[in-house]
Amino acid sequence: MLKKMIMMMSVLAITATAFAGDGRIFGTVAGADGQPMSGAKVELLRDISPYRLVAFTTGTGEYAFNDVTPGMFLVRALAQGELVGELRVPFMRSGNKQVDIKAEAQR
């Protein structure tokens, strides 16, 4: 029982610190025409955690996630429920990482 409890506490500690750090992932979301996308939903998903952080772009298409720890992430942008684009991002040290997402032209 004690072993299970210790294991659960370890999982909770890893999950709780999945996004607690001093790094910053930021960028812009733009349409296929290069124009900024206002109000786009941007998700930051970490490979080792089921949790996600969500931000919305400003009028100039900018977004930011603060207090991010190093790790492997997926940055995904959606507008009106449709995928604009997504990028897998290695964030291996504290600091700033710019991730710009531009929609592909529809064929």
Looking at residue 13, what is its pLDDT? 42
DSSP letters of 75-96? EEEEETTEEEEEEEEEE-SSSE
The two three-digit tokens of residue 14, written as one number: 């890893």
pLDDT of amino acid 6: 46
Q: Is the pLDDT of residue 8 over 60?
A: no
**pLDDT tens, position by position, 30-75:** 999 999 999 999 999 998 888 899 999 999 999 999 999 888 999 9
* pLDDT tens-digit series, residues 69-103: 888 999 999 999 999 999 999 998 878 999 999 99
**Is residue 14 pLDDT above 50, yes or no?**
no
Domains of the chain: 2-102 (2.60.40.1120)
* Cβ atoms of 103 and 84 closer than 8 Å: yes
Burial of 17 (0-12, 13-18, 19+ CB in 10 A): exposed
Q: Give the pTM.
A: 0.77
